[in-house]
Chain A
Amino acid sequence: MGDIVELKRELLKDVDLAEQLLGRERPVKTEVEIRGKITRSMVEEISRIKKEPDWMRRLRLRSLELFYKLPWPKWLTGIEVLDLDEMVYYAKPEAERASSWDELPKEIREYYEKLGLPELEARFLAGLVGVFDSETVYARIKKYLEEKGVIVLPMEEAVQKYPDLVKQYFMRVFPPSDHKFAALHGALWSGGTFIYVPPGVKIREPIESFFLIGRSGEGQFEHSLIVAGEGAYVEWIEGCSAPRLSRFSFHDGMVEAYAHRNATIKIITVQNWSKDVINLNNKRAIAEEGARVDWVEGSIGSKITYVYPSTILKGDNSATRSAVVTIAKGPYLKDSGSKVVHVGKNTRSQIINKTISADGGINVYRGIVRVVRGARNATANVECESLILDDKSKAHTYPHNQVDEPTASVNHEATTGRLTEQQLFYLTSRGLTEDEAKSLIVLGFLEDVLRELPFEYATVLTKVVQLEFSEYGAFG
């Protein structure tokens, strides 16, 4: 208990980037709210509200059993600050699903406007889905997507409209049996986006989903599933944020992706939760023959984040690239690491992990490369770079390689850079404040990853980094 009080004290004095953007939590009317102990009847009620087919109800209940049975994962430290018997596990805001911004209740619309989403959508996106608390409040996709047979739907709507399609993939890429909180996710999932791109269809404009947590003590369990048919191409951008909350909220989301033969799926996440969100991500993709799955993860906010974009290179000649950038500035923990399993022949993976620790922040890299026997000529390159900006901050790297195929080649490079007194003095002697100097170093450190992002997102991420390192907000 003492620890929690201590944590809260730290949080209160801290300047929060998400708070700068979104302010403090404001009341939003809810139509339905389910809170308290996690029970079978709670899970059944969520299923009932969503008018789910029986297979989904059973999947939820099976997941709940697993949640009860499975042990607490050892790597999930810090999650104890949550009182799992006291949280709101389902909150449906009092809002009809809107397909234009005017239809949204003002207090919800304001959040999205502050994030600049309506403008971004008009300029840049093929479609946008907005999830607030547990439900989708906004969804609109450009007409040409429908004409090409692309499906972009809130997850629960997809379950009802395309049960056979969804059922083939849903929690088959990331089964609930994986760990206790994957199981909890399976039991309580709500919200999220389903994307299906038919064979041969290439969508060059990205589709974005934006997740907002609007209240304290909430659990958000959104589930997104992206399926690309043979030869298809799709880019999905995921953004998350929250206003400053008075108690910890919990995010236990899941992303599953399935790239069929020669398909390409690109997933970009810009995570900027406020600093009272405990953020657990379950992300996994399967790539069939010749397919490609790319992950870019920019993890800025949250109190604690656990994020491990993972790809199973199932088919021959499939490939993946995962670039994860995490910033832990202040009393925060980022536990990250990409995971790749090479199953097919000639599979290729590239993992780039960059962490920035400042003001007592801690980064942990926990990646895995597995090459199973028979994955002939598989190649994996792992680059871990840590930047530590002061003596109070830490970075730990725990790479794990398991190579059971003699023809495979796995390279791992890890470097740690520490901002030295000499460097800081040098840059301040050029007229930069310490924060500006740090921001310059951080942006330089991230340059190669930023360059790969779509321009709009590189700009957003650059701004975010500058804000993080600018106590007076003079930057940008």
Chain B
Amino acid sequence: MGLEVVNLTAKVGDKIVLRNVSLKVDYGAVHVIMGPNGSGKSSLAYVIMGRPIYEVLEGDILLDGESIKDLPTEERALKGIFLAQQDPPQVPGVRLSSLIITFTNKKLGAKDLTRPKDPSVIKRMYEVATKLGLPREILQREVNVGFSGGEKKRSEILQAMLFDAKIVIFDEPDSGLDIDGLRIVADYIKSLRDAGKGVMLITHYARLLNYVKPDKVTVLLDGKVAATGGPELAQLVEEKGYAYLRAKIAKGGGSTGV
């Protein structure tokens, strides 16, 4: 059960970005993906979500044992995977509230996507925004247009909360967040774990991990799984850096469980 990536090799354009990657996100657990820039962390998130510019060459993606590899992005989302993007695009013209109403309607199977099928969503979105330290009026603004870095991150969290998926992928939710923001993200991740959801947390630094203790850690290097382990692996990376891991692999000739 949970999300499983099996021997996944994928490319974008002519560039291979994932090579034979396997990993598992269990329910009630936080799986941290670490790696330097360009190691394939975000690519992994996009491929799981089915972004069309990525092509899967080999391997499979399973949700609760069923392949979702050939499903369009929206169906993966509706099956219960949510991706909070690292740098979500601006969507001029579309208010954040309209987007939330539309996707909650879609999840409820409403015919008309414009008027809220469940009117309580309006109250909830304002409550959650306040809880996340967002100004109420942000819901009336166009999605990500003129949002600060911190507002973008919080807006992704807001949507994740209202989308209520069973697998939530966070792509660097911590970059550009102040200490209050970090705490909010960490608390939310912990509450997801407590509620039995699966969390895949992509992060560049171990900073966030001071607040959330991961259940599993995978390090990607050059699109490959370089190391797997527990919280101690994150600690190792934090102390010694990726260069150390790279050198170690070169010596040992393959991925390693530390």
* Residues in A lying within 8 Å of B, measured CB to CB: 387, 417, 420-423, 425-433, 436, 440-441, 443-445, 447, 462, 466, 474-476
Measured CB to CB, the closest approach of chain B to A438, in angstroms, equals: 11
Give CA–CA (A272, B57) in the complex, Å.
45
Is the C-beta of B203 less than 8 angstroms from some C-beta in chain A? no
Q: Are A425 and B73 in contact (CB under 8 A)?
A: yes
Q: Are A428 and B72 in contact (CB under 8 A)?
A: yes
Name the residue among A420, A433, A436, A440 with the largest chain B CB count within 10 angstroms. A440
Q: Are A444 and B83 in contact (CB under 8 A)?
A: no
Closest 10 CB pairs of A and B: A444-B93, A428-B73, A422-B89, A444-B94, A431-B77, A445-B93, A430-B103, A428-B74, A431-B106, A431-B78
Interface residues of B in 120-171 (CB under 8 A from A): 142, 159, 163
Q: Are A426 and B85 in contact (CB under 8 A)?
A: yes
Q: Are B51 and A431 in contact (CB under 8 A)?
A: no
Q: Are B103 and A432 in contact (CB under 8 A)?
A: yes
Is the C-beta of B254 less than 8 angstroms from some C-beta in chain A? no
Q: Are B112 and A441 in contact (CB under 8 A)?
A: no
Q: Are A427 and B163 in contact (CB under 8 A)?
A: no
Q: Which of B49, B89, B98 contacts A440 (CB 8 A)?
A: B98
A-B contact pairs, 18 of them (CB 8 A): A420-B89, A425-B49, A425-B73, A426-B89, A426-B91, A427-B91, A428-B72, A429-B73, A430-B102, A430-B163, A431-B77, A431-B106, A432-B74, A433-B72, A436-B74, A440-B94, A440-B98, A444-B95
Nearest neighbor of A426 in chain B, beta-carbon distance: B89
Is the C-beta of B52 less than 8 angstroms from some C-beta in chain A? yes
Is the C-beta of B53 less than 8 angstroms from some C-beta in chain A? yes
Give CA–CA (A445, B113) in the complex, Å.
16
What are the residues of chain B within 8 A of A462 when measuring CB–CB?
A: 114
Given A430-B159, A444-B142, A417 contacting B92 (CB threshold 8 A): yes
Q: Are A476 and B83 in contact (CB under 8 A)?
A: no
Interface residues of B in 64-108 (CB under 8 A from A): 72-74, 76-78, 82-83, 85, 88-95, 98-99, 102-103, 106-107
**Number of contact residues on B: which range applies?**
35 or more
What are the residues of chain A within 8 A of B159 when measuring CB–CB?
A: 430
Q: Are B49 and A429 in contact (CB under 8 A)?
A: yes
Give CA–CA (A417, B92) in the complex, Å.
8
Q: Which of A426, A447, A466 contacts B93 (CB 8 A)?
A: A447
Give CA–CA (A100, B83) in the complex, Å.
57
Nearest neighbor of A430 in chain B, beta-carbon distance: B103
Nearest neighbor of B78 in chain A, beta-carbon distance: A431
Give CA–CA (A432, B111) in the complex, Å.
13
Q: Are B99 and A440 in contact (CB under 8 A)?
A: yes
What are the residues of chain B within 8 A of A433 when measuring CB–CB?
A: 72, 74
Give CA–CA (A445, B91) in the complex, Å.
10
Measured CB to CB, the closest approach of chain B to A171, in angstroms, equals: 40
Given A432-B74, A432-B106, A427 contacting B114 (CB threshold 8 A): no
Q: Are B93 and A441 in contact (CB under 8 A)?
A: yes
Give CA–CA (A436, B107) in the complex, Å.
13
Measured CB to CB, the closest approach of chain B to A267, in angstroms, equals: 26
Give CA–CA (A56, B128) in the complex, Å.
69
Q: Which of B51, B72, B90, B114 contacts A443 (CB 8 A)?
A: B114
Name the residue among A431, A433, A475 with the largest chain B CB count within 10 angstroms. A431
Measured CB to CB, the closest approach of chain B to A419, in angstroms, equals: 9
Q: Which of B51, B94, B99 contacts A425 (CB 8 A)?
A: B51
Give CA–CA (A247, B113) in the complex, Å.
36
Give CA–CA (A350, B93) in the complex, Å.
21
What are the residues of chain A within 8 A of B52 when measuring CB–CB?
A: 421, 425
Give CA–CA (A447, B93) in the complex, Å.
8
Q: Are A421 and B92 in contact (CB under 8 A)?
A: no
Q: Are A423 and B72 in contact (CB under 8 A)?
A: no
Give CA–CA (A420, B91) in the complex, Å.
9
Q: Are B89 and A423 in contact (CB under 8 A)?
A: yes
Q: Are B88 and A426 in contact (CB under 8 A)?
A: yes
Measured CB to CB, the closest approach of chain A to B89, in angstroms, equals: 4
Measured CB to CB, the closest approach of chain B to A457, in angstroms, equals: 16
Nearest neighbor of A424 in chain B, beta-carbon distance: B52
Give CA–CA (A445, B145) in the complex, Å.
14
Give CA–CA (A445, B89) in the complex, Å.
16
Give CA–CA (A267, B76) in the complex, Å.
46
Q: Are A476 and B111 in contact (CB under 8 A)?
A: yes
Q: Are A436 and B106 in contact (CB under 8 A)?
A: yes
Nearest neighbor of A420 in chain B, beta-carbon distance: B89
Measured CB to CB, the closest approach of chain B to A455, in angstroms, equals: 13
Give CA–CA (A444, B85) in the complex, Å.
22
Apart from A430-B74, A476-B112: 8 A-B pairs, beta carbons within 8 A:
A420-B89, A422-B89, A423-B89, A423-B90, A429-B49, A444-B93, A444-B95, A466-B114
Give CA–CA (A344, B11) in the complex, Å.
64
Q: Are A429 and B77 in contact (CB under 8 A)?
A: yes
Chain B 23-60 interface 0/1 with A at a Cβ cutoff of 8 Å (1 = within): 00000000000000000000000100101110000000
Nearest neighbor of B163 in chain A, beta-carbon distance: A430
Measured CB to CB, the closest approach of chain B to A355, in angstroms, equals: 13
Give CA–CA (A466, B89) in the complex, Å.
23
Q: Are B85 and A428 in contact (CB under 8 A)?
A: no
Give CA–CA (A436, B93) in the complex, Å.
14
Nearest neighbor of A444 in chain B, beta-carbon distance: B93
Measured CB to CB, the closest approach of chain B to A436, in angstroms, equals: 6
What are the residues of chain A within 8 A of B93 when measuring CB–CB?
A: 387, 417, 441, 444-445, 447
Give CA–CA (A426, B84) in the complex, Å.
10
Name the residue among B93, B107, B111, B112 with the largest chain A CB count within 10 angstroms. B93
Give CA–CA (A159, B114) in the complex, Å.
46
What are the residues of chain A within 8 A of B49 when measuring CB–CB?
A: 425, 429
Give CA–CA (A462, B112) in the complex, Å.
11
Measured CB to CB, the closest approach of chain A to B160, in angstroms, equals: 10
Q: Are A428 and B77 in contact (CB under 8 A)?
A: yes
What are the residues of chain A within 8 A of B46 when measuring CB–CB?
A: 425
What are the residues of chain B within 8 A of A436 when measuring CB–CB?
A: 74, 102, 106, 113
Give CA–CA (A400, B68) in the complex, Å.
53
Q: Are A429 and B83 in contact (CB under 8 A)?
A: yes
Measured CB to CB, the closest approach of chain B to A12, in angstroms, equals: 28
Give CA–CA (A427, B103) in the complex, Å.
9
Q: Are B91 and A441 in contact (CB under 8 A)?
A: yes
Chain B 204-233 interface 0/1 with A at a Cβ cutoff of 8 Å (1 = within): 000000000000000000000000000000
